[in-house]
């Protein structure tokens, strides 16, 4: 496991903002290669449930993670307006590209490390190791996700790791968000 | 006899080992190479008192090696012996024409081998 | 000397491997001069080196083989099946000769083979035999009489340029007895014409020694062709120790011209205690005038081997760095992808001319691709051959008897993959030899043949190549494995674990079942590395074992870089690619037929074909009423069918790896970007069938 939490106080880093089912998240831009429009996926029959499918990314085959399922949100059916954040993470000592589906993403901003508050270990929705911290911005609390930890194990396990703190049932929910 | 350096070139590892043993036993300092190309790298200004080379080798064969060395001013006159299994004279003549001093016929025994060497460096 | 012999044996084995390789190639290309030369060279080296290390039987046998291959080289003998089979047999013999030349069976075999050479391959031929190697003759030293020799030595002018020091030769003579030399300088030109690199002086030499003429000639052996050397026995006595003679001789000047005649006059008057008889001076030994010294120019490269060079060019294969082949392949992948786009475009535009061009372009790109891929393919025997020796050596070291059997060695894999396979395969083999196969006594007790067997079988499995390494050794004990796993903390007490999971633990870092560290395979170290190596090739590795029966390691490798011929099909709204080489037939089927089918077996052309309905299995909604299709594929020796919606057509697919994230499923071997930019998955028919029919 990498130790990324220890940072110097003065450092500022860039984060990309994105929305999922009304919640706001951010990811360090160092992980983000591109933002694509979600067009058509090629689904993978009998593939892992957290994989929405694969798309063509610069001539190579990019797996796309169903972020809603992953983050325990209501399943989404219509992706026509969605975006795909193309991330590059390290999994089992290898660089892996993967896409994550998001509703929208419209901003990159700079945050001082000291402005990032720790994510409470209890009483929260997600396990603390998947969240690098929380920032307050324009009156919203934004969770900074750690894609490295969040998605790296996907490469090694058949089922996505359970990232929800309160083992809430992750099976299909049919109600559709917006 | 001491402190003379002999470079031995042959693509057969076992022959290299054998020859190195014989020569070191006889008190020579021994360098080895596996082909002509490799051997050339030893001709970088250091003193080499004798070159013994096989003729059939990959990359740079013995004849080419001999020719190349005879062009280096420092090594123009060093004795060069070549190893040969050929008993035909063409090969010998070719090697002589290229500048070889003499030859050692394979297989050789220790005694004759050292004798031949003593013939060209004393 | 023992280590040395061993190093020769090693080397000989390597040579034999390269010979085997050459023979395998010759089988397909009997006229391949390069391989013929390899065979010749191997025999030649074995002959020469073998004799040096005291393998005389081997040396004399390879001498015969060398002669035989000389015939082949010169076109007098064909490299036909007979010859190749025979050579394989001789390789066996040579291995035996390396092993134990005195063995009776080996000697009989040698006799048989030698006989075969005579009867089969040289019938009536007059073949030019390279001379057999002289066995070292320990020179008989005729001890005794000191006789006196007269020697005239006129070195050729360029003698220094060949690295010869004329004085060393005189020294060498001096070592043989008493010597008296007269130096002649009359050939030295005036200073203006003097070339300091030339040698102008010559000598008259008197030598009293017990050595014979051959010895003296040997002294000059390296220079005799170019220099003028006269050797004459002038007395059966040691003149130099004769007081009278010595007196006479020392009165002569240093530069005195000495001739045999003059010497005879001198000796005639001498008296010797016993015999006074003076040998008749033999006739002039070198009647001819010394040839004018050849101008040995140092830059005469073009002279000797023109023909050789030409030959070399004719048979040369071009070496290309792998990186360039990789680059070529990348470009071709782009070409194929572009061609797919062109095809897509031209289908949507009714333009006959465009369609013509597209078709031509497609043909060309297919040829181009096959060509490039072919360049990269290497049969797997190229590495398996190297293992033969490993098994041989290690089993010897371990005092085990093991035979390595290889099948399917013609299976071709991409070059880069072959290279990366060496280490993992070697590791697996070492494990089998070290831990798997039991020592002979143990095998006997277990009622097994004393000789253990390791079998490496390679075969194509759909879009994969399977390499199966199985041994008939002791296998692994699940209980033992479980215990170790527990000790090492891989599993907790009371934890349920399936045997499959248990075996997978072997591939985890730090897991070992070996009780003690062994020199050969270490301790379990490396199975994790093996797995990683294989996965880096996007392959998979699996282990099966049965206690007392043996262990099998199965490696599946995708034909990674492959651009394959595929069939583009539709299942629901999605498109897939089926590798064309698996597809046997395509039938239309009606929904009615499907409904009538019992147990997912359908009857076509009087064949009962079990099938998988992909529409159902892929959870597609089957809303259209259109006709469906049944694609019949090979599944081992059986036929199986897939029910799909429609067939779009043939398609050249550049197979891209599915990301690691998506590899966890087992039914697709890759994906391909289609002409319109979308992605289609490539179906692995075997795995698909395994998944839906066999489980």
**pLDDT score of C373 more than 60:** yes
User: Coil, strand or helix: which one is C607?
Assistant: strand
Taking contacts as CB-CB distances below 8 angstroms, the residues of chain C near B118 are 172
pLDDT bin (cut points 50, 70, 90) of residue A169 is very low
Q: How confident is the model over A80-88, as a mean pLDDT?
A: 88
Taking contacts as CB-CB distances below 8 angstroms, the residues of chain B near C45 are 12, 56
pLDDT bin (cut points 50, 70, 90) of residue A16 is very high
Q: How confident is the model over A37-49, as a mean pLDDT?
A: 83
Q: A47-56, C398-407, C663-672: which has the minimum mean pLDDT?
A: C663-672
Candidate from A48, A54, A154 with C-beta closest to C671: A54
**pLDDT score of C1 more than 50:** no
**pLDDT score of C331 more than 60:** yes
Most C CBs within 10 A among B8, B11, B12, B90, hence the mutation to make, goes to: B12
Q: What is the predicted pLDDT for the residue at C632?
A: 92
Q: What is the predicted pLDDT for the residue at C315?
A: 45
Are both C399 and C530 inside the same structural domain?
yes
State whether residue C601 sits within 8 Å of chain B by CB: no
Using CB atoms within 10 Å of the CB of residue C614, give its burial: 0 to 12 exposed, 13 to 18 middle, 19+ buried. Answer: buried
How many angstroms away from the CA of B17 is the closest CA of chain C?
A: 7
**pLDDT score of C449 more than 50:** yes
Q: What is the predicted pLDDT for the residue at B87?
A: 63
Q: What is the predicted pLDDT for the residue at B28?
A: 87
pLDDT bin (cut points 50, 70, 90) of residue C516 is very low
Per the CB < 8 A criterion, the answer to whether A132 and A5 are in contact is yes
pLDDT tens, C163-190? Answer: 888 888 888 888 888 888 888 888 888 8
Ranges of each domain in chain A: 12-155
**pLDDT score of A13 more than 80:** yes
Candidate from A45, A59, A154 with C-beta closest to C617: A45
State whether residue B21 sits within 8 Å of chain C by CB: yes
Q: What is the predicted pLDDT for the residue at C177?
A: 84
pLDDT bin (cut points 50, 70, 90) of residue C290 is very low
Report if residue C334 sits inside a domain: yes
Most A CBs within 10 A among C616, C662, C665, C683, hence the mutation to make, goes to: C662
Q: What is the DSSP string of chain A?
A: ----S---TT-EEEEEEEEETTEEEEEEGGGEEEEEE----B--TT--TTEEEEEEETTEEEEEE-HHHHTT-------TT-EEEEEEEEETTEEEEEEEEESEEEEEEEEEGGGPBPPPSSSSSB-GGGEEEEEEETTEEEEEE-HHHHHHGGGT-SS----BSS----S-------
Chain C residue closest in CA terms to A151: C661
State whether residue B95 sits within 8 Å of chain C by CB: no
Q: Indicate contact of B with C: 3+ CB pairs under 8 A.
A: yes
CATH number at C366 reads 1.10.287
Look at strands A131-137 and C601-604 and give their pairing.
unpaired
Taking contacts as CB-CB distances below 8 angstroms, the residues of chain A near C671 are 42, 54, 61
Q: B12-21, C276-285, C356-365, C465-474: which has the minimum mean pLDDT?
A: C276-285
Q: Which residues of C touch A (CB under 8 A)?
A: 337, 574-575, 617-619, 656-662, 664-668, 670-671, 673, 677-681, 691
Beta bridge partners of A137: A140
State whether residue A122 sits within 8 Å of chain C by CB: no
Most C CBs within 10 A among B1, B6, B14, B78, hence the mutation to make, goes to: B14
Average model confidence (pLDDT) for chain B? 84
φ, ψ for residue C368, nearest 5 deg: -55, -45
Q: How confident is the model over A15-28, as a mean pLDDT?
A: 90
Q: Do residue C662 and residue A94 have CB atoms under 8 angstroms apart?
A: no
Q: Do residue C679 and residue A51 have CB atoms under 8 angstroms apart?
A: no
Taking contacts as CB-CB distances below 8 angstroms, the residues of chain C near A154 are 661
Report if residue C139 sits inside a domain: no
Most C CBs within 10 A among A53, A56, A60, hence the mutation to make, goes to: A56
State whether residue C171 sits within 8 Å of chain B by CB: yes
Q: Do residue B15 and residue C169 have CB atoms under 8 angstroms apart?
A: no
Query: Positive or negative, the Cα torsion across C502, C504, C510, C515?
Result: positive
Q: Which of C111, C115, C120, C32 is nearest to C83 (CA)?
A: C120
How many angstroms away from the CA of B102 is the closest CA of chain C?
A: 5
Candidate from C11, C164, C168 with C-beta closest to B13: C11
Bigger pLDDT: C491 vs A165? C491
Average model confidence (pLDDT) for chain C? 79
Are both C166 and C264 inside the same structural domain?
yes
Q: Indicate contact of C with A: 3+ CB pairs under 8 A.
A: yes
Q: What is the predicted pLDDT for the residue at C478?
A: 84
Are both C328 and C474 inside the same structural domain?
no
Q: Given a contact as 3+ CB pairs under 8 Å, which chains touch C?
A: A, B
Q: Which residue range is the domain that position C362 belongs to?
A: 322-378
Q: What is the predicted pLDDT for the residue at C669?
A: 78
**pLDDT score of B73 more than 60:** yes
Q: Do residue C163 and residue B12 have CB atoms under 8 angstroms apart?
A: no
Q: Which fold has domain A12-155?
A: OB fold (Dihydrolipoamide Acetyltransferase, E2P) (2.40.50)
Instruction: Report how far residue C538's alpha carbon sits from residue C664's, in angstroms, rounded to the nearest whole number.
Output: 11
Q: What is the predicted pLDDT for the residue at C31?
A: 83
Within 34-53 of B, beta carbons closer than 8 Å to C belong to none
Candidate from C45, C51, C300 with C-beta closest to B12: C45
Q: Do residue B87 and residue C44 have CB atoms under 8 angstroms apart?
A: no
Q: Which residue range is the domain that position B97 belongs to?
A: 5-117
Q: How confident is the model over C625-638, as a mean pLDDT?
A: 83
Per the CB < 8 A criterion, the answer to whether B85 and C47 are in contact is yes
Per the CB < 8 A criterion, the answer to whether A102 and A19 are in contact is yes
Instruction: Report how far residue A44's alpha carbon sits from residue C681's, in angstroms, rounded to the nearest whole number.
Output: 8
* Tokens (6 digits) for C214: 């051959």
Q: How confident is the model over C256-265, as a mean pLDDT?
A: 73
Number of domains in chain B: 1
pLDDT tens, C407-426? Answer: 888 888 887 788 788 888 98
Instruction: Report how far residue B55's alpha carbon sits from residue B9's, in angstroms, rounded to the nearest whole number.
Output: 9
How many angstroms away from the CA of B34 is the closest CA of chain C?
A: 13
Are both C504 and C569 inside the same structural domain?
no
Per the CB < 8 A criterion, the answer to whether C503 and C543 are in contact is yes
Q: Chain B to chain C, count of Cβ pairs less than 8 Å apart? A: 110
Report if residue B122 sits inside a domain: no
**pLDDT score of C510 more than 70:** yes
Look at strands C679-683 and C668-673 and give their pairing.
antiparallel
**pLDDT score of C462 more than 70:** no
Beta bridge partners of C209: C147, C177
Per the CB < 8 A criterion, the answer to whether C216 and C151 are in contact is yes
pLDDT tens, C378-409? Answer: 888 878 877 877 787 788 888 888 888 888 88
**pLDDT score of A21 more than 60:** yes
Average model confidence (pLDDT) for chain A? 77
Most C CBs within 10 A among A39, A41, A47, A99, hence the mutation to make, goes to: A47
Q: What is the predicted pLDDT for the residue at C456?
A: 93
**pLDDT score of C468 more than 90:** yes
State whether residue B15 sits within 8 Å of chain C by CB: yes
Candidate from C4, C136, C305 with C-beta closest to B18: C4
pLDDT bin (cut points 50, 70, 90) of residue C131 is low
Taking contacts as CB-CB distances below 8 angstroms, the residues of chain B near C198 are none
Report if residue C153 sits inside a domain: yes
pLDDT bin (cut points 50, 70, 90) of residue B86 is low
Query: Positive or negative, the Cα torsion across A49, A50, A53, A59?
Result: negative
Q: Do residue C165 and residue B63 have CB atoms under 8 angstroms apart?
A: no
Q: Do residue A42 and residue C691 have CB atoms under 8 angstroms apart?
A: no
Are both C534 and C513 inside the same structural domain?
yes
Report if residue B110 sits inside a domain: yes
Number of domains in chain C: 5
Report if residue C133 sits inside a domain: no
Q: What is the predicted pLDDT for the residue at C483?
A: 84
Q: C225-229, C297-301, C484-488, C542-546: which has the minimum mean pLDDT?
A: C297-301
State whether residue C131 sits within 8 Å of chain B by CB: yes
Per the CB < 8 A criterion, the answer to whether A85 and A100 are in contact is yes
Taking contacts as CB-CB distances below 8 angstroms, the residues of chain C near A96 are 659-661
**pLDDT score of C471 more than 90:** yes
Q: A49-53, C223-227, C537-541: which has the minimum mean pLDDT?
A: C537-541
Candidate from B77, B106, B121 with C-beta closest to C52: B106
**pLDDT score of A168 more than 50:** no
State whether residue C624 sits within 8 Å of chain B by CB: no
Helix C352-376 vs helix C322-347: crossing angle, to nearest 10 = 160
Q: What is the predicted pLDDT for the residue at C472?
A: 92
pTM for the model stands at 0.44
pLDDT bin (cut points 50, 70, 90) of residue C276 is very low
Are both C384 and C373 inside the same structural domain?
no
Q: Is the peptide bond before B107 cis (omega within 30 degrees of 0)?
A: yes
Report if residue C127 sits inside a domain: no
SS3 content of chain C, % helix, strand, coil (to 5): 45, 20, 35
A48-52, A53-57, C157-161, C674-678, range with greatest mean pLDDT: A53-57
State whether residue A86 sits within 8 Å of chain C by CB: no
Q: A78-87, C182-191, C535-544, C593-602: which has the minimum mean pLDDT?
A: C535-544
Report if residue C458 sits inside a domain: yes
With b for 16 or more beta-carbon neighbours within 10 A and e for fewer, the A25-61 pattern comes to bbbbeebbbeebebebbbbbbebbebbbbbbbbeeeb
Q: Do residue C657 and residue A96 have CB atoms under 8 angstroms apart?
A: no
C510-514, C558-562, C616-620, range with greatest mean pLDDT: C616-620
How many angstroms away from the CA of C660 is the closest CA of chain A?
A: 6
CATH number at C473 reads 3.30.565.10
User: Which residues fall within 8 angstroms of residue C446, CB to CB, at 6 or more apart?
Assistant: C438, C474, C548
pLDDT tens, C14-45? Answer: 888 888 888 888 887 888 888 888 888 888 88
Q: Given a contact as 3+ CB pairs under 8 Å, which chains touch B?
A: C
State whether residue A159 sits within 8 Å of chain C by CB: no
Q: What is the predicted pLDDT for the residue at A157?
A: 42
Per the CB < 8 A criterion, the answer to whether C551 and C544 are in contact is yes
CATH number at B92 reads 3.40.50.2300
Bigger pLDDT: C487 vs C286? C487
φ, ψ for residue C403, nearest 5 deg: -110, 135
Report if residue C309 sits inside a domain: no
Instruction: Report how far residue C310's alpha carbon sits from residue C317's, in angstroms, rounded to the nearest whole number.
Output: 13
């Amino acid at each position: 496991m990498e130790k990324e939490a220890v940072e110097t106080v003065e450092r500022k880093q860039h984060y990309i903002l994105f929305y999922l089912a009304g919640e706001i998240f951010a990811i360090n831009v160092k992980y983000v290669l591109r933002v694509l429009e979600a067009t058509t996926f090629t689904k993978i029959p009998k593939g892992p449930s957290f994989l929405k499918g694969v798309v063509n990314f610069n001539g190579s085959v990019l797996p796309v993670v169903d972020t809603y399922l992953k983050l325990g949100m209501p399943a989404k059916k219509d992706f026509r307006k969605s975006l795909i954040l193309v991330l590059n993470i390290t999994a089992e000592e290898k660089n892996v590209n993967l896409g994550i589906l998001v509703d929208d993403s419209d901003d990159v901003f700079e945050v001082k490390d000291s402005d990032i508050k720790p994510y409470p270990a209890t009483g929260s929705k997600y396990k603390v190791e998947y969240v690098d911290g929380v920032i307050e911005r324009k009156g919203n609390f934004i969770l900074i996700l750690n894609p490295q930890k969040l998605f790296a194990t996907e490469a090694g396990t058949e089922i996505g790791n359970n990232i929800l703190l309160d083992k809430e049932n992750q099976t299909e929910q049919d109600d559709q968000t917006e | 006899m001491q402190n003379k350096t002999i470079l031995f070139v042959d693509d057969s590892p076992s022959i290299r080992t054998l020859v190195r043993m014989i020569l070191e036993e006889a008190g020579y300092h021994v360098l080895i190479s596996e082909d002509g190309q490799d051997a050339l790298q030893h001709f970088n200004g250091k003193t080499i008192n004798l070159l013994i080379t096989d003729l059939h080798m990959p990359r740079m064969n013995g004849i080419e090696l001999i020719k190349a060395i005879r062009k280096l001013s420092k090594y123009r006159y060093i004795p060069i012996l070549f190893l040969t299994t050929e008993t035909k004279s063409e090969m010998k003549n070719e090697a002589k024409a290229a500048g070889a001093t003499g030859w050692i016929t394979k297989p050789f025994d220790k005694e004759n081998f050292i004798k031949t060497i003593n013939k060209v460096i004393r | 000397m023992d280590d040395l012999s061993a190093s020769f044996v090693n080397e000989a084995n390597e040579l034999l491997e390269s010979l085997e390789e050459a023979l395998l190639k010759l089988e397909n290309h009997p006229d391949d001069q390069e391989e013929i030369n390899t065979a010749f060279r191997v025999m030649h080296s074995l002959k020469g080196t073998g004799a040096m290390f005291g393998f005389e039987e081997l040396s004399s046998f390879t001498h015969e083989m060398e002669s035989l291959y000389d015939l082949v080289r010169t076109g007098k003998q064909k490299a036909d099946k007979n010859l190749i089979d025979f050579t394989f047999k001789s390789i066996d013999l040579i291995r035996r000769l390396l092993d134990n030349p005195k063995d009776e069976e080996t000697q009989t075999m040698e006799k048989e083979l030698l006989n075969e050479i005579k009867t089969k391959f040289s019938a009536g031929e007059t073949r030019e035999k390279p001379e057999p190697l002289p066995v070292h003759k320990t020179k008989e030293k005729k001890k005794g009489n000191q006789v006196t020799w007269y020697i005239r030595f006129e070195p050729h002018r360029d003698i220094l340029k060949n690295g010869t020091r004329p004085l060393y030769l005189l020294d060498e003579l001096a070592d043989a007895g008493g010597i008296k030399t007269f130096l002649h300088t009359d050939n030295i030109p005036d200073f203006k014409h003097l070339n300091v690199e030339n040698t102008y002086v010559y000598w008259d030499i008197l030598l009293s020694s017990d050595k014979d003429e051959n010895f003296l000639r040997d002294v000059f052996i390296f220079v005799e062709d170019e220099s003028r050397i006269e050797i004459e026995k002038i007395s059966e006595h040691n003149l130099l120790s004769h007081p009278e003679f010595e007196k006479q001789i020392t009165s002569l000047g240093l530069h005195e011209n000495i001739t045999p005649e003059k010497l005879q006059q001198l000796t005639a008057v001498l008296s010797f205690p016993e015999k006074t008889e003076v040998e008749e001076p033999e006739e002039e030994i070198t009647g001819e005038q010394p040839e004018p010294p050849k101008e040995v120019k140092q830059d005469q490269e073009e002279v000797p081997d023109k023909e050789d060079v030409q030959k070399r060019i004719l048979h040369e294969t071009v070496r290309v760095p792998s990186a360039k082949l990789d680059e070529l392949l990348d470009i071709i992948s782009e070409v194929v992808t572009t061609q797919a786009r062109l095809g897509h475009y031209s289908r949507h535009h009714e333009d006959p001319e465009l369609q013509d061009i597209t078709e031509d372009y497609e043909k060309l790109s297919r040829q181009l691709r096959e060509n490039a891929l072919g360049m990269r393919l290497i049969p797997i025997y190229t590495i398996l051959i190297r293992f033969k020796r490993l098994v041989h050596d290690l089993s010897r070291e371990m005092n085990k008897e093991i035979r390595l059997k290889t099948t399917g060695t013609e299976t071709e894999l991409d070059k880069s993959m072959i290279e990366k396979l060496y280490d993992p395969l070697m590791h697996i083999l070492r494990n089998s030899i070290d831990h798997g196969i039991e020592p002979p006594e143990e095998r006997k007790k277990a009622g097994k043949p004393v000789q253990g067997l390791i079998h490496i079988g390679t075969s194509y499995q759909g879009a994969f190549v399977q390499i199966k390494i199985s041994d008939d050794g002791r296998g692994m004990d699940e209980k033992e494995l479980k215990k170790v796993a527990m000790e090492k903390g891989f599993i907790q007490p009371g934890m349920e674990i399936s045997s499959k999971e248990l075996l997978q633990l072997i591939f985890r870092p730090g897991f070992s079942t070996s009780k003690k560290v062994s020199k050969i395979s270490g301790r379990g170290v490396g199975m994790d590395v093996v797995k990683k190596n294989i996965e880096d090739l996007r392959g998979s590795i699996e282990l099966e074992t049965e206690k007392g029966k043996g262990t099998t390691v199965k490696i599946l490798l995708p034909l990674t870089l492959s651009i394959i011929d595929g069939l583009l099909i539709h299942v629901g709204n999605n498109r897939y690619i089926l590798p064309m080489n698996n597809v046997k037939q395509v039938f239309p089927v009606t929904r009615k037929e499907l409904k009538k089918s019992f147990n997912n077996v359908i009857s076509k052309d009087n064949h009962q074909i079990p099938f998988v309905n992909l529409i159902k299995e892929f959870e597609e909604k089957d809303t259209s009423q259109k006709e469906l299709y049944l694609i019949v594929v090979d599944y081992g020796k059986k036929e199986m069918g897939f029910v799909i919606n429609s067939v779009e057509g043939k398609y050249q697919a550049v197979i891209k790896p599915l990301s690691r994230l998506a590899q966890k499923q087992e039914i697709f071997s890759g994906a391909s970007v289609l002409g319109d930019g979308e992605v289609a998955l490539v179906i692995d028919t075997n795995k698909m069938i395994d998944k839906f029919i066999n489980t």
